[in-house]
Amino acid sequence: MQVFGPSELLEDVLNAGLCIGCGACVNLCPYFRSYKGKTAMLFPCSRETGRCHAFCPKTEVDLDALSTAVCGSPYSGSPTGTYQQVFMARAGEGAGNGDFQDGGTVSALMKFALESNMIDGAVLTGRNGLVPAPGLTTSAREVPAFASSKYTAAPTLAALNDGFNRGFRQMGVVGTPCQLTAVAQMRTNPLQDANFADPVALTIGLFCTWALDTRGLLAFAQKRAPGEQIRKMHVPPPPAGIIVLETDTRTLEIPLEEIRPLVPAGCRICPDMTAEWADLSVGAMEGKAGWNTLIVRTAKGNSLVRKAAVARYLELADFPRENWKDLETAAADKKRRAFEKARQDGTVNAEAGCRAALRVDPRTLEKMTAD
Amino acid sequence: MSRIIQGAPGEHHLFMGNEAIARGALEAGISVAAGYPGTPSSEIIENLAADASETDVYVEWSANEKVAAEVAAAASFAGLRALCVMKQNGVNVASDFLLHLAGGGTRGGMVLVPCDDPGALSSINEGESRHFARLLEVPLLEPGDFQEAKDMIKWAFELSEQIGNMVMVRSVTRLSHASGDVELGKIPESDAKARFRHTGFILDPEQGAMTSAPVGYKHALQQEKLQKAEALFEDAPFNTYTGPENPELLVITSSACHLYSREAIGILGLENRAGLLKLGTTWPLPRQLVRAHLEKCGRVLVVEEVIPFLEENIKVLAAELAPEIGAKTFYAKRDGTLPATGEMNPDHVICALAAIFNLEYRSAPEQYTEKAKLCVLAGAPGRDLTFCPGCPHRASFWTLHNVLALDNREGFVCGDIGCYSMGMRETGFYTLKTMHAMGSGTGIASGFGKLDRFGMDQSIVAVSGDSTFFHAVLPGLVNAVHHGSNFTLVIFDNSGTAMTGFQPHPGLEVDAMGKPAPPLDIAGICQAIGAKVSVCDPFDLENTRDTMLETLDDRQGVNVVIFRQSCALSPEKKGKPRYEMHLDQKVCMGENCGCNKLCTRVFKCPGLNWDEKNQAARIDEVICAGCGVCADICPAGAITKKEAG
């Protein structure tokens, strides 16, 4: 993995329009800040290498090196990444209630991880109107306040970096695939500086096919529902092809085609639907309202799930085989589209001397993009 | 009490040009002096104000130059002698009134002293005021040394009363701010009585109404006054000639350029070949006097700064006289003999003379020049203009820069005139993107703020100082509110006209003479105009940032945010740090990822410097003003502040 500095980050990501505002570069230093869903560089920084560049999920992500570091073997290109087991899951009675998007699995697991002291703080993403509001909480009681899907690209990792600055060294992070790609890179301590050792004890990934630009969505909502507050968003499974926005008084059904222009360019080269670098990945459960899909990827994740189930924080059920097939197809489609787009843009495996967004063994790339 | 009123007639004193001008005004027996601060003019009013209780002169810093001219004119209308002072571009501000004043005439002597700034040493223009004399059709005098600076003022008042119109006496930086020997005259006892006589026939210049109408009659009268002045100029004591009877070259000059020319002729040993005609009365030109000199010489060099004012006027005269005195060869600015811009200096004149006389001249051996160039490049540290340690503007621009970056819509700041003009440079993080005249930031922002209909979605901020606010921002603000323009006006209220030396303005509780005055509340005025107003302390970075982000998001009409924090050099603050600052070099992250010298590379307060040996920042305790802001920007917490005891 090649590490460059803030100037390259500015050129290759921010100025190139690839930034998805994940917050990985924010709060590491005085130079990168996030405001209303957008990351800004306040002043130039002359360093040749920096964590900002090393963590960014949109530049020089070496998938083979990352997979070797996280899973012990090079990137296989399989649609849903490396995993141990898949469940249907939902919050158990021990986890309490909340305004969950689906089954409340993530909230239940984070509450349990906090209460069992597996983590010293939970990095979560709340919402302030339509503007995502990341935060770090040490209290299990506060976890449900962050529940429900945001659909907007969120600077969640700004809260993680802030937690690091405040001395947290065992944090649990809930994030989208791009965010957890950044966290996975962060955990390898790319600058090899003892001061920047891995501060993360648990990662829970959220399935994601795309996100929406916060400012774009704000403007869109202002146009479609002037003066109204959007309370909840929801994308029903295909073939519905709509996004549902709920305000205080009504429900707006908006064709996905209308909001697609609000998807940041950076999402279009994202090859990860199921958050492959996480300990656990959670998504909706097609055809089973009130349940989640739960992918267990690591021993650590497995241990947490088992303990949470025993403590009745989590309810588990067998995952239907046909659902898995659909999931794999969707995940493989996203991978193919992403790598094709990156190849078109010239941002995968760039020539020697040039920088790339993604790097992967050309044979794996061939396999993933084959029809 | 200033030293300009001390000293008996006949004594010699070392006076700055501006002190000589002020003394001259006192010797002329003025009753009123008004002006607006601006380098290089400010010391004239300052000195008169300092002595106001002794001299009985009414002195004020007016809200702007136009008002200053009006205040002085009122005194003249009431039969008193009045002085009006401003820097070069102040005349632009006052010019509308001045045109009408010149058309209508004056009663008590009225002298306008504009101080020009050739080379723009303390300005962002080197526009000059002399051409206003021609435009306004009033007499123009230019002192050529310090004695003349004093004597000419007194003479100008007499002239003003003889012709019944205003007289301009133009100074320049090198005269206003340099010092020289001045022999004092007498300051008369004052028994001035003011009465405006207005009940006479409308055309009666002494008893009627004061106005420039009816124009046909008054304009003709005005030109008669000018002709009268020209006649008096023929024998004026300020026009002198030195040199041979029939010189090979006639050098015609005025003002400080007279000193450069004299020096240049001396250095080249041309005293017997070149004649020096130094004019103190430069508009209208004394025709007979100039003719007498032109007649004796075929070649003429005109030395002046900045625009070819004297050159063109002399050429017009020469063209008119050509059938009688023959055609002349001119060397000056228009043919490139002398530089067309910037300050004049002896070197320029020497080079011009050497070229005309075909002389070899080197100011220094070539070897020396080459070596000096190398030394300058290698040895002289780069010193950009910078805000002082503890200056509120650094913190203010820090926040403005950052909120516009966070706002991320390519927002920008329309700048204005004050120390904060330096916000265009590194010390203000290159935040200002337009800068023109006093008050122009707000007017320009008012225009930008209406361009949303053409797709402009950038955030717009204007800035203004507190004194500038009263000077020229108000009309722009009124315009913006009335037309529903969208922008944020930030007023840097540092409690005084800081750049020019803390002259009071209408927002303060004291006037120029040190007497109590009712302060006008900027926030209240803005509210009354209909703007949304908030107040911040720019040293409170967090609150200021949040307030600014909120206003940038508002986009509904005009927001005014007042950044209130006194200038670090203000008398009540100077030498009294609020905090004792401490920097722990062990905690400093230096060049590491996570900081990379934010305080010494970007923030760049002169009170912080980089310790090469320890690879950490350190505080220069000698100049640190203890504002505490650096403690709040340090990402490592290496800088701490403690309330000073």
* Closest residue in chain A to residue B592, using alpha carbons only: A47
Tell me: do B469 and B524 sit in the same domain.
yes
Report which of B91, B8, B15 is spatially closest to residue B47, judged by C-alpha positions: B15
Domain housing B192: 3-233
Stretch 190-209 of chain A: residues touching chain B, C-beta under 8 Å: 191, 193, 196
Confidence of residue A371 (pLDDT cuts 50, 70, 90): low
> Residues of A with CB below 8 A from B401's CB?
42-43
Tell me: do B593 and B538 sit in the same domain.
no
* Closest residue in chain A to residue B594, using alpha carbons only: A29
B12 Cβ contact partners less than 8 Å away, ≥ 6 residues apart: B181, B182, B183, B184
Q: Among the CATH numbers 2.30.30, 2.60.220, 3.10.450, 3.30.750, which is that of A214-262?
A: 3.10.450
Backbone φ and ψ of B467, nearest 5°: -70, -40
Q: Judge whether A131 is closer than 8 Å to chain B, CB to CB.
A: no
Of the residues A9, A32, A45, the best mutation for testing chain B's interface (the one with the most B CB atoms within 10 Å of its CB) is A45
Please check the confidence at residue A99 and state whether its pLDDT lies above 80.
Answer: no
Tell me: do B271 and B419 sit in the same domain.
no
* Interchain pair A30, B633: CB under 8 A: yes
Size of interface A-B (CB pairs under 8 A): 48
Residue of B405, B595, B633 with shortest CB distance to A40 = B405
User: Would strands A38-41 and A61-62 be described as parallel, antiparallel, or unpaired?
Assistant: unpaired
Judging by beta carbons within 10 Å of its beta carbon (0-12, 13-18, 19+), is residue A103 exposed, middle or buried?
buried
> Residues of A with CB below 8 A from B592's CB?
193
Tokens matching residue A288: 């089973």
| Last residue of one domain, picked from the residues B507, B537, B564 | B564
* Closest residue in chain A to residue B599, using alpha carbons only: A30
Tell me: do B285 and B189 sit in the same domain.
no
Tell me: do B227 and B246 sit in the same domain.
no
* Interchain pair B549, A35: CB under 8 A: yes
Tell me: do B40 and B181 sit in the same domain.
yes
Residue of B406, B591, B594 with shortest CB distance to A35 = B406
Total number of domains constituting chain B: 4
Mean pLDDT by 10 residues, chain B (645 residues): 86 97 98 97 96 94 98 98 97 98 98 97 94 98 97 98 98 97 95 95 94 96 98 98 97 97 97 98 98 97 97 98 97 97 96 96 87 84 88 97 97 96 96 97 98 96 97 98 98 89 91 95 98 98 98 95 93 86 97 97 96 97 95 97 91
Tell me: do B201 and B265 sit in the same domain.
no
DSSP string, B469-509: IIIIIHHHHHHHHHTT--EEEEEEE-SSBTTTT-B--TTSS
Tokens matching residue A61: 């992500």
Whichever domain contains B590, its CATH number is 3.30.70.20
Return the residue matching tokens 């070596």.
Answer: B371
Report which of B38, B36, B81, B88 is spatially closest to residue B62, judged by C-alpha positions: B36
Tell me: do B96 and B226 sit in the same domain.
yes
> Residues of A with CB below 8 A from B594's CB?
28-29, 51
* Closest residue in chain B to residue A166, using alpha carbons only: B636
| B101 part of a folded domain | yes
Whichever domain contains B506, its CATH number is 3.40.50.970
Please check the confidence at residue A96 and state whether its pLDDT lies above 90.
Answer: no
User: CA A94, A95, A98: angle at the middle one, nearest 5?
Assistant: 140
* Interchain pair A41, B402: CB under 8 A: no
- The 10 Å Cβ neighbour count of residue A311 is 15
DSSP B451: G
Tokens matching residue A137: 């909480």
> What is the maximum alpha-carbon separation in chain A?
57
CA distance B56 to B511: 15
The pLDDT of residue B1 is 61
Alpha-carbon distances of B612 from B609, B616, B633, rounded to whole Å: 9, 7, 21
| B190 part of a folded domain | yes
Q: Judge whether A30 is closer than 8 Å to chain B, CB to CB.
A: yes
At B152, is the secondary structure helix, strand, or coil? helix
CA distance B251 to B302: 6
Give the residues across from B503 on adjacent strands: B497
Domain ranges in chain A?
Answer: 6-212+265-369, 214-262
Tell me: do B470 and B436 sit in the same domain.
yes
The pLDDT of residue B645 is 76
- The answer to whether B275 touches B241, Cβ cutoff 8 Å, is yes
| B384 part of a folded domain | no
Q: Judge whether A51 is closer than 8 Å to chain B, CB to CB.
A: yes
Which residue numbers of B have CB closer than 8 Å to A's CBs?
401-402, 405-408, 429, 549, 591-596, 598, 601-602, 633, 635
Backbone φ and ψ of A337, nearest 5°: -60, -45
Q: Judge whether A28 is closer than 8 Å to chain B, CB to CB.
A: yes
Report which of B331, B348, B336 is spatially closest to residue B261, judged by C-alpha positions: B348
Alpha-carbon distances of A128 from A100, A154, A214, B106, B488, rounded to whole Å: 17, 12, 11, 67, 25
Top-confidence residue, B378 or A295: A295
Confidence of residue A235 (pLDDT cuts 50, 70, 90): confident
- The answer to whether A309 touches A302, Cβ cutoff 8 Å, is no
* Interchain pair A42, B401: CB under 8 A: yes
Tokens matching residue B179: 């010092």
Number of continuous H segments (helices) and E segments (strands) in chain A: 11, 15
| B574 part of a folded domain | no
The pLDDT of residue A157 is 98
Backbone φ and ψ of B599, nearest 5°: -70, -35
- The answer to whether B179 touches B44, Cβ cutoff 8 Å, is no
pLDDT tens digits, residue range A40-91? 999 999 999 999 999 999 999 999 999 999 999 999 999 999 999 999 999 9
CA distance B395 to B544: 10
| Last residue of one domain, picked from the residues B197, B217, B233 | B233
Tell me: do B38 and B130 sit in the same domain.
yes
Report which of B434, B439, B424 is spatially closest to residue B458, judged by C-alpha positions: B434
Whichever domain contains B265, its CATH number is 3.40.50.920
Judging by beta carbons within 10 Å of its beta carbon (0-12, 13-18, 19+), is residue B366 exposed, middle or buried?
exposed
DSSP string, A155-183: -HHHHHHHHHHTT--SEEEEE-HHHHHHH
| B572 part of a folded domain | no
Of the residues B593, B600, B634, the best mutation for testing chain A's interface (the one with the most A CB atoms within 10 Å of its CB) is B593
Q: Judge whether A128 is closer than 8 Å to chain B, CB to CB.
A: no
